[in-house]
Chains A and B, each alone.
Chain A
Amino acid sequence: MALLQIAEPGQSPKPHQRRLAVGIDLGTTNSLVAALRSGISEPLPDQDGQVILPSAVRYHADRVEVGQSAKDAAATDPLNTIISVKRLMGRGISDVKHLGDQLPYRFIGGESHMPFIDTVQGAKSPVEVSADILKVLRQRAEATLGGDLVGAVITVPAYFDDAQRQATKDAAKLAGLTVLRLLNEPTAAAVAYGLDQNAEGVVAIYDLGGGTFDISILRLTGGVFEVMATGGDSALGGDDFDHAIASWIITEAGLSDDLDPSAQRSLMQTACAAKEALTDTDSVEVVHGAWKGLLTRSAFNALIEPMVARSLKACRRAVRDCGIELDEVEAVVMVGGSTRVPRVREAVADLFGRQPLTEIDPDQVVAIGAAIQADTLAGNKRDGGELLLLDVIPLSLGLETMGGLMEKVIPRNTTIPVARAQEFTTYKDGQSAMMIHVLQGERELISDCRSLARFDLRGIPSMVAGAAKIRVTFQVDADGLLSVSARELASGVESSIQVKPSYGLTDGEVARMLKDSFQYAGDDKVARVLREQQVDAQRLIEAVEGALQADGERLLDAEERMVIDMQVEELRELMKGTDGAAIEQQTKRLSQVTDAFAARRLDSTVKAALSGRNLNEIEE
C-alpha cells in the first residue's frame, strides 16, 4: 500500500489527491531538494544518505554523470566536467568571455548570444547543464515521495535579473519540472525560520558559502518581503579560509610555494579538515607529510580576520544603502556552510548587536524554506492560515519615448505579480508603425538604462499625430518575468513580446544602476527637461514646415513667410545647444508667430469643406 504522511487536523488528502511539491536550492557549488512531510520540512537524501548534490555535471559520450563523482573528475576531465554553471546562467557570450580566463571550457557562440560549452556530447548551454542537475533532484524527489511532483519552488539569488531568472525557469522546464515560483534565496531562508509569520520588520540574511558572500536586507510588511538592498563579494568564501590555513602551513613547515597539483590538493584537504575541526575544539594538531604543528582557534581567527572584516564591511554598506541603522535589523539569518565558523558567528553577532539564527543547518536552510513555500503553493494548506509570499521587482520597467527618454510603467519595488497599462500616441502624421523599446533601470535617459527588448507595432491606421491611442501593457508574473503587449485601440492591431533578454546584469551592476539613479537624479532631471523641450521644438518645426509646404504659397505673403522662416531657423540653431529655457521660449515664439497662419489654414479647410453644399446638407 501507499505510505502515508501525517496531515493537519481535518486535512487528510483524498486518495490520489496528494499534491507533492518540493523546494530546490540550485546552488553554484551544491544543490539540494527538500519537501514537507508529516509537518516537517527537511532535505531529501539520496540512496547513500547524502542530502547535498554537488552542482557538477560530467558529460560522457553516452551518459551524464551528476554530483560528487562528477566533481571529483573536474581535475582529470576539465573540458567535459562543468562546475559552477550557475555563474553562466542567463549570461551572454560577451559576459562569459570576460570570465573566460578563469574557466577551462571551450565556448561556442550560439544563436541569441547564448554561450554553449563544447563537450564530448556536443554543445551544451548552461540551461541544459542546470537541467541535468535538476533532473537528478527531481528523480530523487519522486522516488522519495512516491509519486509525480505537482511542481517545485526553485530559489535564485536576490540579485538575479530577468535573464537569469528566465534561464533558471527554462532549465526547470527542460528537466520536466513545473515551476510553482522562483523564490529569492534570502527570502527562502527567512521563511525557513518562520520570520514571514511576523507582522513586519527588517531582516538581514548573511550568506557565506564556499566561494561567494551575499548580504541581503529584507523588509517584511504585511506578508510581503521586499528586497531593500543586496551586497556582497563574489570572491569571498570558506575556500579563502582554507587558503589562509594552507599558507600558514607552508610558512610554518617551511615548504616551497610552488607545489605540484596533487600536493596542492592534499594540502587544501588538510587545511579544510583543520578548519572544520576548529568549529568544535579550541586547537587542532595539523599533520602535513612529515611536519606537525598546532593550530589554535585564536590563531585561526587571526588568519581569517581580514576576510571576516571584509564581509562585515559589505554588511554595513548594505544596511547604509537602505537608509537604516544596524540596530533596526530585527533578525539575522545565517546561510552557507562557512557560517559554522565560530569567529564568523561572533563577528556578525557583535555587528548587529544580536545573536544570529543558526539552529537550522546553514547548508539546508534555503531548500527548507523553499519546500515550505512549495507546499503552500501546491494547495496543501498549512496550520495557521495561508502563507502568501510576495516579492517585488528590483528595478523599474518602462519604455523609450521620443527623445531617448525612459518612461517608467512599473516602478521598482512594486509587488509582483502585476500588470500596468499606459497609453501612448503617434508622433508624426500618418505614422503607421511604432517601435516599443522595453527598458529596465532608474535613470531618465535610455542610454543609462538597460535595454531588455524591442518590438514593432505595425499596421497603425493613418491618422494625424497624436490621434492614435496605443495601449502598452506591462505584465510581470509571479516569477518576476516580464511580457509586454501593445495595442492600437481604434483598429485593434496588436503585438507583444515575452522578454527574454540575451544576457544579464551582475548584482554589482544592479547596485550601481540604483546608486547612479540617486547620485545623478538632478542631472537626469535637467537632461529629461532638455530632451522634452527638444522634442517639442522638433515637433513644432515639422508641423510648421508641413503646413508651409501645403498652404504657404496660398495663404501667406512674402513678409509673413519670411518672419516664420526666420523663427524656425532660430529655433533650429538653439536646438543644437543645451539651453532648455531658450529652446522653450523660442518654441513659444514660433508658435505665436504661426498662430495667424494656423487660423487661416483652419478657415480655408472649413470653407473648402463647405463650399458647394447647401445648408440642409451640412445640418444633416
Chain B
Amino acid sequence: MAISMTEAAANHVRRSLEGRGKGDGIRLGVRTTGCSGLAYVLEFVDAPDSEDTVFEHHGVKVIIDPKSLVYLDGTELDFVKEGLNEGFKFNNPNSRGECGCGESFNV
C-alpha cells in the first residue's frame, strides 16, 4: 500500500510548513461525510499517532491513518492550477464517483 505525491505538491507543502513555522508533515485522510459519502482530509501534522503510516516524498512526510489508507491506496497528491484557482488534488484510483461539486466521493 502506498501514497505518492508530485514534486509540485511537495514544494507547496514545504512552503506552507515553513510559513506556518511548525509541523512535521501533512495528513491525508478520508472521513464519512458530504453528499457523496466520503470527503478528503488534508491537514498539517504536529505529532503523528502511533498507528499512522508515514511516507516520504521529495523530502516531505505524508502521514495517513490505517483506516483512510484503505480508501486512498495508490492515490497521488498533486498541486494544480486551474485558471486563477490553485490547490491540492487527490488522484485516487479507488474513487468511483464524485458529487457534482467534487468535494466528496464514493468508492
Residues on A lying within 8 angstroms of B by beta carbon are 1-12, 14-16, 37-40, 44-47, 140, 143-146, 383
B26 on the interface (CB 8 Å rule)? yes
Known contacts A8-B44, A47-B84; decide if A40 and B89 are in contact (CB<8 Å).
Answer: no
Q: List 27 A-B contacts (CB under 8 A).
A: A1-B89, A2-B103, A3-B80, A3-B86, A4-B42, A6-B13, A6-B26, A6-B44, A6-B88, A7-B42, A7-B43, A8-B44, A9-B46, A12-B31, A12-B39, A14-B39, A15-B103, A15-B104, A16-B101, A37-B87, A39-B16, A40-B15, A40-B19, A44-B84, A45-B84, A46-B84, A145-B85
Residue from A1, A5, A140, A143 within 8 A of B42 (CB atoms): A5
Q: Which B residues are in CB contact (< 8 Å) with A40?
A: 15-16, 19-20
Most buried by B among A5, A14, A15, A140: A15
Minimal beta-carbon separation of B82 from chain A (angstroms): 7
Q: Are B33 and A14 in contact (CB under 8 A)?
A: yes
Q: Are B88 and A3 in contact (CB under 8 A)?
A: yes
Q: Are A15 and B43 in contact (CB under 8 A)?
A: no
Known contacts A2-B102, A4-B89; decide if A9 and B43 are in contact (CB<8 Å).
Answer: yes
Cα of A287 to Cα of B57 in the assembled complex, Å: 51
Interface string of B1-44 (1 = CB under 8 A from A): 00000000000110110011000001100010111000111111
**B 72-107 contacts with A by CB, 8 A:** 80, 82-90, 98-99, 101-105
Most buried by A among B13, B103, B104: B103
B45 on the interface (CB 8 Å rule)? yes
Cα of A167 to Cα of B85 in the assembled complex, Å: 31
Cα of A12 to Cα of B40 in the assembled complex, Å: 9
Q: Considering the complex, give the chain A residue whose CB is closest to the CB of B31.
A: A12
Residue from A15, A37, A140, A383 within 8 A of B39 (CB atoms): A15
Cα of A326 to Cα of B15 in the assembled complex, Å: 37
Minimal beta-carbon separation of B34 from chain A (angstroms): 4
Q: Which B residues are in CB contact (< 8 Å) with A5?
A: 42, 87-88
Count of B interface residues, CB-CB < 8 Å: 37
Q: Which A residues are in CB contact (< 8 Å) with B87?
A: 2-5, 37, 146
Minimal beta-carbon separation of B22 from chain A (angstroms): 9
Q: Are B41 and A12 in contact (CB under 8 A)?
A: yes
Q: Are B85 and A1 in contact (CB under 8 A)?
A: no
Minimal beta-carbon separation of A161 from chain B (angstroms): 36
Q: Which B residues are in CB contact (< 8 Å) with A14?
A: 33-34, 39
Q: Are B19 and A39 in contact (CB under 8 A)?
A: yes
Q: Are B16 and A15 in contact (CB under 8 A)?
A: no
Residue from B15, B82, B103 within 8 A of A16 (CB atoms): B103
Minimal beta-carbon separation of A514 from chain B (angstroms): 39
Q: Are A143 and B101 in contact (CB under 8 A)?
A: no
Most buried by B among A2, A8, A16, A46: A2
Q: Are B43 and A38 in contact (CB under 8 A)?
A: no
Cα of A6 to Cα of B28 in the assembled complex, Å: 10
Known contacts A6-B44, A40-B20; decide if A1 and B88 are in contact (CB<8 Å).
Answer: no
Minimal beta-carbon separation of B10 from chain A (angstroms): 13
Known contacts A38-B16, A40-B20; decide if A3 and B43 are in contact (CB<8 Å).
Answer: no
Q: Are A39 and B20 in contact (CB under 8 A)?
A: yes
Minimal beta-carbon separation of B14 from chain A (angstroms): 11
Q: Are A15 and B85 in contact (CB under 8 A)?
A: no
Q: Considering the complex, give the chain B residue whose CB is closest to the CB of A194.
A: B21
Cα of A302 to Cα of B8 in the assembled complex, Å: 47
Q: Which B residues are in CB contact (< 8 Å) with A38?
A: 12, 16, 19
Q: Which B residues are in CB contact (< 8 Å) with A140?
A: 84
Cα of A6 to Cα of B45 in the assembled complex, Å: 10
Q: Which A residues are in CB contact (< 8 Å) with B41?
A: 7, 12
Cα of A525 to Cα of B66 in the assembled complex, Å: 76
Q: Are B13 and A1 in contact (CB under 8 A)?
A: no
Q: Considering the complex, give the chain B residue whose CB is closest to the CB of A7.
A: B43
Cα of A146 to Cα of B81 in the assembled complex, Å: 11
Q: Are B83 and A143 in contact (CB under 8 A)?
A: yes
Cα of A234 to Cα of B87 in the assembled complex, Å: 41
Minimal beta-carbon separation of B60 from chain A (angstroms): 12
Known contacts A2-B101, A7-B42; decide if A144 and B33 are in contact (CB<8 Å).
Answer: no
Name 16 extra pairs, CB < 8 A, besides A40-B20, A144-B85, A146-B87. A1-B98, A3-B80, A3-B86, A4-B40, A4-B87, A4-B89, A6-B13, A8-B44, A10-B43, A12-B41, A15-B103, A45-B84, A46-B84, A143-B84, A146-B82, A146-B85
Q: Which A residues are in CB contact (< 8 Å) with B44?
A: 6-9, 39
Minimal beta-carbon separation of B31 from chain A (angstroms): 8
Q: Which A residues are in CB contact (< 8 Å) with B33?
A: 14-15
Q: Are B35 and A11 in contact (CB under 8 A)?
A: no
Q: Considering the complex, give the chain A residue whose CB is closest to the CB of B40.
A: A4
Q: Which A residues are in CB contact (< 8 Å) with B99?
A: 15
Known contacts A1-B89, A144-B84; decide if A9 and B27 are in contact (CB<8 Å).
Answer: yes
Cα of A75 to Cα of B20 in the assembled complex, Å: 45
Q: Which A residues are in CB contact (< 8 Å) with B101?
A: 2, 15-16
Q: Are A12 and B43 in contact (CB under 8 A)?
A: yes
Q: Are A3 and B103 in contact (CB under 8 A)?
A: no
Q: Considering the complex, give the chain A residue whose CB is closest to the CB of B26.
A: A6
Q: Are A15 and B15 in contact (CB under 8 A)?
A: no
Q: Considering the complex, give the chain A residue whose CB is closest to the CB of B87.
A: A3
Cα of A10 to Cα of B41 in the assembled complex, Å: 9
Cα of A47 to Cα of B84 in the assembled complex, Å: 7
Q: Which B residues are in CB contact (< 8 Å) with A15?
A: 33-35, 39, 99, 101, 103-104
Cα of A146 to Cα of B41 in the assembled complex, Å: 18
Residue from A3, A6, A9, A46 within 8 A of B82 (CB atoms): A3
**B 35-65 contacts with A by CB, 8 A:** 35, 39-46
Q: Which B residues are in CB contact (< 8 Å) with A16?
A: 34-35, 101, 103
Q: Which A residues are in CB contact (< 8 Å) with B105?
A: 1
Known contacts A38-B16, A145-B85; decide if A11 and B43 are in contact (CB<8 Å).
Answer: yes
Q: Which A residues are in CB contact (< 8 Å) with B85?
A: 3, 143-146
Q: Which B residues are in CB contact (< 8 Å) with A144?
A: 84-86
Q: Which B residues are in CB contact (< 8 Å) with A12?
A: 31, 39, 41-43
Q: Considering the complex, give the chain A residue whose CB is closest to the CB of B46.
A: A9
Cα of A10 to Cα of B45 in the assembled complex, Å: 9
Cα of A14 to Cα of B15 in the assembled complex, Å: 24
Most buried by A among B31, B39, B45: B39
Cα of A39 to Cα of B16 in the assembled complex, Å: 6
Q: Considering the complex, give the chain B residue whose CB is closest to the CB of A46.
A: B84
Cα of A337 to Cα of B13 in the assembled complex, Å: 30
